[in-house]
Amino acid sequence: MSYQHQYVDGTRIHFPVGKLVCVGRNYAEHAKELNNPVPSEPLLFIKPATAAVALEGGFALPQERGSVHYEAEIAVLIGKPLSTRPNDEEIRDAISGFGVALDLTLRDVQSRLKDKGHPWEIAKAFDGACPLSPFVPGDAVEDLADIGVRLSINGELRQDGNSRDMLTPILELIRYISGHFSLQPGDVVLTGTPAGVGALASGDHLVVELPELCRFESRVL
């Protein structure tokens, strides 16, 4: 079944699934764990709509392309067009929901591309590269600078981050993105991953949550 955005209560969200705009190294601790310098401005890349799949119920990994890493991230669903550096209120008004995304990454492929100075696209944009949870409504979150995100695998806590530790906070990140290209209803912004990334294996049981907002279970098929 093809992916469609929905709220946690099961209501379908009738936006087309758009592009998934991602930011690399938005938490200093994560940049450090991969021996990457902290960028001086947001490092953007895009996953196409074909990368989106439902997180709940399980997802498959690409086969024979090396290690596949999880990166749990706060996902922001855009509900109104944004362009040319909107102000905080306009951005807040355009946010339809918050959820969790896994920015799946072919880490070995990415390392080879990075060594050559090439774009990472094929390591990040494959079909199924972005399992997405249902969303809590945008107004369920009061303080965008205090959203937790957690991932446990097989009962072990692997990632435990908070938006307060982002190098570029959510509103500023969306402003930066929409200063470079338009965001449309149905687009999703992935806001970067905290430290603790690692490889997934088939059969892994995952619990991802935005503490106090939403919690989802999934597994690697």
Tell me how far, at minimum, the Cβ of 130 lies from Zn ion, in Å: 10
Question: Which string of DSSP letters, residue by residue, matches 142-200?
Answer: S-TT--EEEEEETTEEEEEEEGGGBSS-HHHHHHHHHHHS-B-TT-EEE----S--EE-
Question: 193 or 218: whose CB is closer to Zn ion?
Answer: 193
Return the structure tokens found at 54.
Answer: 């439902």
Q: How many residues bind Zn ion (CB under 5 A)?
A: 3
Residue among 108, 90, 106, 95 at smallest CA distance from 186: 95
Question: 43 or 136: whose CB is closer to Zn ion?
Answer: 43
List the interface residues with Zn ion, window 65-84 (CB under 5 A): 71
Does 123 bind Zn ion (CB under 5 A)? Our answer is no
Among 27, 74, 103, 110, interactor with Zn ion by CB under 5 A: 103
Question: 71 or 209: whose CB is closer to Zn ion?
Answer: 71
Tell me how far, at minimum, the Cβ of 180 lies from Zn ion, in Å: 18
Does 193 bind Zn ion (CB under 5 A)? Our answer is yes
Report whether 97 contacts 136 (CB < 8 A).
yes
H or E segment to which residue 48 belongs: none
Rounded to an integer, what is the distance from CA 165 to the centroid of its chain?
Answer: 16
Tell me how far, at minimum, the Cβ of 142 lies from Zn ion, in Å: 25
Does 191 bind Zn ion (CB under 5 A)? Our answer is no
Question: 163 or 193: whose CB is closer to Zn ion?
Answer: 193
How much of the chain is helix, strand and coil, in % rounded to 5? 20, 35, 45
Binding site for Zn ion (CB under 5 A): 71, 103, 193
